[in-house]
A and B are shown apart, each in its own frame.
Chain A
Amino acid sequence: MKTTDSHAFVNQFLIWLLVTFSASGSIGLGMVWMRHQISATANANRRLEARIADVQRRIDETTTAIEGEKGSDVLRRRNAEWHLGLVQATEIQIVRMPDDPVMRLARFGNRDLFHDSVTAVSFRLAAKE
């Protein structure tokens, strides 16, 4: 190709112009698409934040309602309304264990094994067929 030929020059010019327009158009469209995506993501985040805040508000509201229902006055009223007959434990009903309850239960559970007197200990064995 002769580059000094005006025909070739026009062709080249138009092609480059088209390429430039296409490229800049693509870049522009890409940027628009990207900005749209950024906008969509940011708005999605905003909606999520709003949703989280809404959930948090409902949690606070529910927590307040639950705490109100746990109030002594309400529990007393429910006890009377539902005829539950619940009363506070008195000292006479309480057996205090000065030692570790786990060790105490273990001692009770195994009192036959560790008795001072000689006792018969039986072991059950599974018979192999």
Chain B
Amino acid sequence: MSKGFASNYRILVLATGLFGVFGLLGARLVWLHVVDRDSYLRNIVKARRQIIVEKARRGDILDANGAILATSHSLIEVGVDPSALRKPDDKLHAKDEAKWPQLAALLGLPLAELEKTFTTKFREPAPAPTASAASSAAAPAGLVFNLNLSPAAPATVKDGTAANAEDDDTEIDPAADGAGRHEIKWAKLAENISESTYADIEKLNIHGVYGIRVYRRSYPHHQLASHLLGFVSRQQQPVAGLERYAEFYLRGQDGWREGERDGRSNELAQFRTREVPRADGFTVRLSIDANVQDIIEQELATIAKTYQPVKATIVVSDPRDGFILGMANYPTYDPNEYNKVPKDEQERLKNVAVADVYEPGSVFKIVAASGALEERLVTPDTTFDCSLARADYRGKSLSLPADDHFYDDPHRVPLSRVISFSSNRGAAQLAMKLGEEKFYRYARAFGFGSKLGFPVGGEVNGTVHAPGSAGWDGLTITRMPMGHAIDCTVLQMHAAMSAIANGGVLLRPQLIRQIRDAAGEKVYSFERVELNRAVSTETARTMAQMLMGVATKNGTAPDAAIAGYEVAGKTGTTQKLEPVELANGQTVLRYSTRHHVASFVGFFPASRPQIAISVIIDDADAHAPNGVAYGSKVAAPSFKHIGEQLIPLLNIQAGRGVVPTNLVAFEGGRR
């Protein structure tokens, strides 16, 4: 190194220069990082910060055997941004256009329709509504929304104009051009496109065509157990059934992560600062057996085809623990297409087994008979004079209901025959022996007049008038025992019969067996719930024995008998109330002779009950034998048919051989 370069002056200049440059750099850094820090930081945060929400997967609903009844999966709504399509002068335009037929085929769209969507770049301004159009409420014919839950495309932006309110398949630029037109930013081509199809669409690589992933609830078995499952709307809101009841378990918890994105809005994964993982929804396992459910729905389909009733319901449960194995109604619907149920058929969405009431008819005789037995007022051998047209009750002579059965000796009909022949007069005398207060108490003890706590379907109370109330008149003590002047849900009647089957305990009908987390670990298990004891085990045992007489050739329902099995049950044929206009113009409700509710509610094997089945058919008279839908002719055969199919499926073994026929053992009473 030369001496000249190393002079003190030059060293000083060099050092000053270096320090000066570093000083300037330092000053600039201080300026950027201290003085202007906040403003720059605000810009950065605004431009780069992002919070990505990670949607939790909604839990599945499984049947008792693990079959999936409701699940969630992703679907893609494919659309096009017409303004982003390559311009005709672009050399790649022709290449893209050549792929349109392939795209149309993948989407299942006519090519002409696809081309129209691609080439429509503006939405014309809506014409001013005329007076007549305005008065017609702007609702196009045939446009039906269910429960006010119209399916709306998630990517829809509505600008408030009438035209856009009707069309929710496009996203438009809110700013109109000079001619009042709005540029279309996204037009839906197809929805419900599967992942695999969308992968093929992506391979086409058509500029401007892209999809929006949405999660949809799917019910793979379609209408199976639809009234129990309910459905989730397209906005992912649980609307009815288990979907709504078990929302707390099913919905899960969305996760999120905070981080930064680059200029193309891609996440810069290295700058993630905070992250909360998503917690997927729990799996709800039901007591419903999809096979049992299918059997009863097939039976309902047969009933509907044969008798064309207004509605019908079948309930199957295990009377030992109250868990429902199957519950189905006719008419029904497919929860995948809940929005396609016509407006005038919205009743199809209703779970009539719990949300509708009916007069139970003769099946209700089990209450009066059980009460009288429990109070030791009668025995199965106690006889009743069923020829009486009137009877004295608390100093009054009351007319008794008609009996249309033939007895060898109508003056001495034993209680067991009163049940097996379904004598109205015998039932009335039973209640009169019991007294109205006790009779009412037993009706309530069997669960009538109050909700059983069934989780779904909008359960109603039903009506049981208390003695002394406005609804209880002088004849109620003779009419209510035969199931008139009272109304209940199908499930209430089913639960009352199950109480007889299980040894006298009224159980809460339940639907959910278990809750499991996403890893399959058990979170909660539902157990048998006793509501109250209706009658003693001995009384229930005696009742079951008497009810076995119904399903014999000497009873009212020989068609319910299952070969090799002891069937206990009770028929019911209720006249429906219909409005009748009197001469003075007043309308009153009268019992119809042309419209009936036919029912059979029973269980088997009577000595070791494993299954309780209720079949209720509303207004099947038009196509019933002899024009009257008797429970014995319409409902009892269905009971038998279902029972026969359930025996091998659920491995139901006949009680005989294990317990003598005349002795009835109940597992339920001991648990």
Known: A43-B270, A61-B73, A96-B653. A6 touches B220 (CB 8 A): no
Known A10-B6, A57-B195; contact A72-B269, beta-carbon cutoff 8 A? no
Whether A61 pairs with B196 at a CB distance below 8 angstroms is yes
CB within 8 Å for A35 and B270 given contacts A7-B6, A61-B194: yes
Partner of B270, one of A6, A38, A57, A58: A38
Q: Which chain A residues border B74 with CB–CB below 8 Å?
A: 57, 60-61
Separation of A71 and B293 alpha carbons in the complex (Å): 12
Decide: B1 and A67 in contact? CB cutoff 8 A.
no
Partner of B220, one of A11, A13, A68: A68
Which of B195, B268, B270, B564 is A91 in contact with, Cβ under 8 Å? B564
Pairwise interchain contact A46-B3, C-beta atoms closer than 8 A: no
* A117: interface (CB < 8 Å): no
Also in contact, A58 and B272, with CB within 8 A (given A68-B220, A71-B222) = no
Which of B64-72, B236-244, B574-582 lies at the interface with chain A? B64-72
What residues on A are CB-neighbors of B68 within 8 Å?
Answer: 63-64, 67
Tell me whether B644 and A91 are in contact (CB under 8 A): yes
- Cross-chain contact of A7 among B3, B194, B270 (Cβ < 8 A): B3
In whole angstroms, what is the CA distance A121 to B220 when docked? 60
Residues 1-25 of chain B, each 1 if its beta carbon lies under 8 Å from chain A, else 0: 1010111100100000000000000
- The verdict on A64 contacting B71 (CB below 8 Å), with A54-B195, A71-B222 known, is yes
Q: Does B258 contact A (CB under 8 A)?
A: no
Q: Which residues of A contact B72 (CB under 8 A)?
A: 60
Assess whether A70 is interfacial by the CB under 8 Å rule: yes
Q: Of A6, A60, A72, which contacts B71 at CB under 8 A?
A: A60
Cα-based distance from A116 to B57 in the complex (angstroms): 65
Decide yes or no whether B267 CB sits under 8 A from chain A.
yes
Report the separation of the CA atoms of residues A64 and B645 in the bound assembly, to the nearest whole angstrom.
Answer: 28
Q: Answer yes or no: A26 CB below 8 A from chain B CBs.
A: no
In the complex, per-residue mask of A27-39: 1 if CB is within 8 Å of any chain B CB, else 0: 0000000010011
Cross-interface CB contact of A60 among B6, B67, B73, cutoff 8 Å: B73
Which residue on B lies nearest to A71, using beta carbons?
B221
| Size of interface on A: residues with Cβ below 8 Å to B | 33
Looking across the interface, which residue of chain B has its beta carbon closest to that of A89? B648
Segment 1-43 of A: residues with Cβ below 8 Å from B: 6-7, 9-11, 13, 35, 38-39, 41-43
CB distance from A87 to the nearest CB of B (A): 11
CA A44 to CA B493, docked complex, whole Å: 62
Cβ-based interface call for B443 (8 A): no
A43, B259: Cα distance in complex, Å = 13
- Give the docked Cα–Cα distance between A37 and B262 (Å): 17
Pick from B8, B194, B218, B269: contact of A43, CB below 8 A: B269
User: Which interface class (under 10, 10 to 19, 20 to 34, 35 or more) fits B?
Assistant: 35 or more
Q: In the complex the two chains form, what is the Cα distance from A72 to B291 in whole Å?
A: 8
A68 CA / B71 CA spacing, docked (Å): 11
B168 part of interface (Cβ distance < 8 Å): no
Main secondary structure of the interface of B (DSSP, over half): mixed
* B224: Cβ under 8 A from any A Cβ: yes
| Contact with A71, one of B195, B224, B267, B649 (Cβ below 8 angstroms) | B224
- Among A7, A45, A61, the residue within 8 A (CB) of B1 is A7
Chain A residues, CB < 8 A from B221: 67-68, 71-73
Residues of B within 8 A of A13 (CB): 11
**Chain A, Cβ-Cβ closest to B74:** A57
Question: Which residues of B, 618-671, contact A by the 8 Å Cβ criterion?
Answer: 644-645, 647-649, 653
Chain B residues lying within 8 Å of A38, measured Cβ to Cβ, are 270
In this assembly, does A125 line the interface, its C-beta being within 8 Å of a C-beta of chain B? no
Assembly CA distance A67 to B294 (angstroms): 15
Please give me the residue from chain A that is nearest to B8 by CB atom: A6
**B327: Cβ under 8 A from any A Cβ:** no
B619–chain A nearest beta-carbon distance, Å: 27
- The residues of B that contact A45 with a CB separation of less than 8 Å are 269
Which residue of A is nearest B75, CB measured? A61
- In the complex, residue of chain B having the shortest beta-carbon distance to the beta carbon of A70: B67
Interface readout for B259-294 with A: 1 if CB under 8 Å, 0 if not?
A: 000000001111010000000000000000011001
Q: Is A94 an interface residue (CB 8 A)?
A: yes
Rounded to whole Å, the gap between the CB of B196 and the closest CB of chain A is 7
Q: In the assembled complex, how far is the CB of residue B342 from the closest CB belonging to chain A, in whole angstroms?
A: 22
CA A89 to CA B221, docked complex, whole Å? 22
CA distance A43 to B644 in the complex (A): 61
**20 extra A-B contacts, CB within 8 A, seeds A42-B268, A58-B196:** A7-B6, A10-B1, A10-B5, A39-B269, A45-B269, A54-B195, A57-B195, A60-B71, A60-B74, A61-B74, A61-B195, A64-B73, A67-B71, A68-B221, A72-B221, A72-B294, A72-B298, A88-B645, A91-B644, A96-B653
A interface, CB within 8 angstroms of B: 6-7, 9-11, 13, 35, 38-39, 41-43, 45-46, 54, 57-58, 60-61, 63-64, 67-68, 70-73, 88-91, 94, 96
In the A-B complex, the 5 residue pairs with the closest CB atoms: A42-B269, A67-B220, A42-B270, A60-B73, A46-B269
Sampled A-B contacts (17; CB under 8 Å): A7-B3, A10-B6, A13-B11, A39-B269, A42-B268, A42-B269, A43-B269, A57-B74, A60-B57, A60-B72, A61-B196, A64-B68, A64-B73, A67-B221, A72-B224, A88-B648, A94-B648
